[in-house]
Amino acid sequence: MFAVEVRDHVMIAHSFKGDLFGPAQALHGATFVVDAAFIAKTMDENGVVIDIGRAHEALKEVLGPLNYKNLDEVPEFKGKNTTTEFLTKHIHDYLAAAARDNRLGRQGSELDSIRITISESHVARAWYEASVT
Ligand X SMILES: Nc1nc2c(c(=O)[nH]1)N=C([C@H](O)[C@H](O)COP(=O)(O)OP(=O)(O)OP(=O)(O)O)CN2
| Contacting positions for ligand X (CB under 6 A) | 21-24, 30, 83-85, 120
* CB closer to ligand X out of 30 and 130: 30
Beta strands 125-131 and 113-119 are antiparallel
Minimum Å gap between C-beta 52 and ligand X is 28
Q: Concatenated DSSP letters for 17-72?
A: -SGGGGGGGS-EEEEEEEEEEEEESS--TTS-SS-HHHHHHHHHHHHGGGTTEEGG
* CB closer to ligand X out of 82 and 113: 82
* CB closer to ligand X out of 84 and 113: 84
Minimum Å gap between C-beta 29 and ligand X is 9
Minimum Å gap between C-beta 126 and ligand X is 6
Of 91, 95, 99, the C-alpha closest to 117 is 91
